[in-house]
Chain A
């Protein structure tokens, strides 16, 4: 039937919380991650990945993330496979595709595979920023213990120990 995932920070409530959320940017150049970090970094963790393995591994700790993926025609077909994995394994993950206009014809297919927004040229951060802020606002605060509460309020979360996360390092 349906699949679900374990929300690490949601031990006392049903559903994902802000502790399960972050932006994970899968791209080659770092262009999007740099800019997203500049406008959202103080509020939301922005992590960069360079491979599918790295992406899936990151989602283990951020199962309610928004994934921003830069896609081209060559990567399109392979992307369907991992989009399907994400759809089944992390139903709370939302995927946004940034692509050239040439890929517009495939927008409906990508949407079928769980892509919630398709951003084509000209490159604009506006929509991605809005989506991230809206998602962040829609998630509840995790019920944290004292240690996590203090830790969650430390400044510069993007430079945190756990790869851009504002959680305490593992003992």
Chain B
């Protein structure tokens, strides 16, 4: 007499007969079951996936097998026992396809999470979509996918070899950045405004983390003030989980030399403890110099400056300017339909002769403006902003302004009357009071300036 088939076999047969992709992972996040429909959807034999661990990340720099299993990993909340819906990505498909999925946590006898069953939409209805279509904004998983894509793009954008130039100063900065990216120590990035300090911080962060789940949280020290900084840093320091993922990444304190003095000691103590994030900071001045002059806390300066990266002023690396200008121009080309080839010699000479007080930011601003101005194919000297063409000496001489007094005064009067009327919500009596006029005089001026016929009958709509 044949032995009756076990319920496990029957369940397996049933699951294999359905068109709906189903898989399960155990408490150690290993794939323990995957049905035929799921294997077919993924385009991978089930045997290759069984026993593989899935980890919740979206790194692109791993083997394709790991990318596939990572994409199958349920969100951390489901692993922790919360039933939820979300998106699952078939990373092996080309293009990648995501489908709606339901995550059903399984509990062990002790009530602890024992695994997750995942039921993926069969793709027949509206559940399947190619990546790139607008996702459902209410789903946290959509957010996670978008975040993954954005981080991946950023990881490509912020690379050390994109810190262009061959001058000794930028070569040294690149070397320092490489060193910083290989460690977890605090980094202080010093440079003048506009020199690309934030860009450098992002480069180090993305060089260190790639597109993995790691946050980069900037805090603007000069803008937030003591109260907001204190609460933000305290909140970050007290949590071991950020937005459903382990708290890891970088806290970037911008303009830390402008940090309110009353926070120095407190921040120093906070960052020396078990602060979960790496700390980077930007500053215009060296902190040790501020310490010497008694304007900065010694301990905080030491905590922040384990490794110092110097961002050079643009004027100090003019040899790089042609390359940087070309890179900026090609950025502009990539942003729109207008395509320019480069710069005339005369234009480059003008750019090289300028003193660039606003550094890289100003260079990009100038190239953006010149790109708009130029007819092409080259940016000519005449396309450059006036201050670049005339240089710092010429810029001091301001162009003579001429006006036609009567017209100008009329424009001012019209503007003031219109503003007063708006402020008075059309109430002419109130507008007249705001302008210090009598009501009849306001009517007369309205008529004379062609703003209204000024007849008292007209004001009934506005009068209250």
Contact = CB atoms under 8 A, between A and B. Distances in A.
A137 to B, nearest CB: 10
A5, A6, A169: most-surrounded residue (chain B CB, <10 A): A6
A13 to B, nearest CB: 8
B361 A2 contact: yes
Contacts of B146: 77, 80-81
A121 interface: no
Interface string A11-22: 111110000000
Contacts of A76: 137, 143
B224 A131 contact: yes
A160 B224 CA distance: 29
A159 B150 contact: no
A138 B222 contact: yes
Interface in B98-122: none
A76 B150 CA distance: 14
A154 B137 contact: no
Contacts of A78: 134, 137
B386 interface: yes
Interface string B333-363: 0000000000000000000000011111111
A161 B415 contact: yes
A2 B196 contact: yes
Nearest to A161: B415
Interface string A92-127: 001000000000011111011010110000000001
A138 B223 contact: yes
Given A135-B223, A146-B401, A1 B193 contact: no
Nearest to B363: A4
A39 interface: no
Interface in B400-429: 401, 403, 408, 411-412, 415-416, 418-420, 422-423
Contacts of A147: 401, 403, 408
Given A108-B215, A108-B243, A109-B147, A159 B331 contact: no
Contacts of A114: 218
Given A2-B196, A4-B365, A14-B361, A154 B228 contact: no
Contacts of A169: 411, 415
A3 interface: yes
Interface of B is mostly: helix
Interface string A72-93: 0111111011001000000100
Interface residues of B, number: 71
B387 interface: yes
B147 A2 contact: no
Contact of B416 (A13, A15, A94, A155): A155
B225 interface: yes
Contacts of A138: 222-223
A156 B408 CA distance: 19
Contacts of B137: 73-78
Contacts of B422: 156, 159
A134 B229 CA distance: 14
B166 to A, nearest CB: 15
Contacts of B223: 94, 116, 131, 134-135, 138
B216 A112 contact: yes
A88 to B, nearest CB: 9
B364 interface: yes
A1 B243 contact: no
B440 interface: no
Contact of B196 (A1, A105, A107, A111): A1
A13 B134 CA distance: 42
B452 interface: no
A6 B365 contact: yes
B295 interface: no
Contact of A117 (B224, B236, B359, B418): B224
Nearest to B399: A145
A106 B418 contact: no
B138 interface: yes
Given A12-B395, A159-B422, A109 B218 contact: no
Contacts of A13: 357-358
Contact of B164 (A1, A77, A161): A1
Interface in B297-347: 324, 327-328, 331
Contact of B364 (A4, A77, A106): A4
A32 interface: no
Interface string A56-80: 0000000000000000011111101
Interface string B423-448: 10000000000100000000000000
B379 to A, nearest CB: 15
B361 A112 contact: no
A18 B154 CA distance: 31
B302 to A, nearest CB: 26
The 7 closest A-B pairs by CB, nearest first: A14-B358, A4-B364, A159-B422, A159-B419, A156-B419, A108-B242, A77-B137
28 contacts: A3-B364, A4-B368, A12-B387, A14-B194, A14-B356, A14-B357, A14-B359, A15-B358, A77-B137, A78-B134, A80-B143, A80-B147, A94-B223, A106-B143, A108-B215, A108-B217, A111-B219, A112-B217, A116-B218, A131-B223, A131-B224, A134-B222, A135-B223, A151-B412, A151-B415, A154-B415, A156-B420, A161-B415
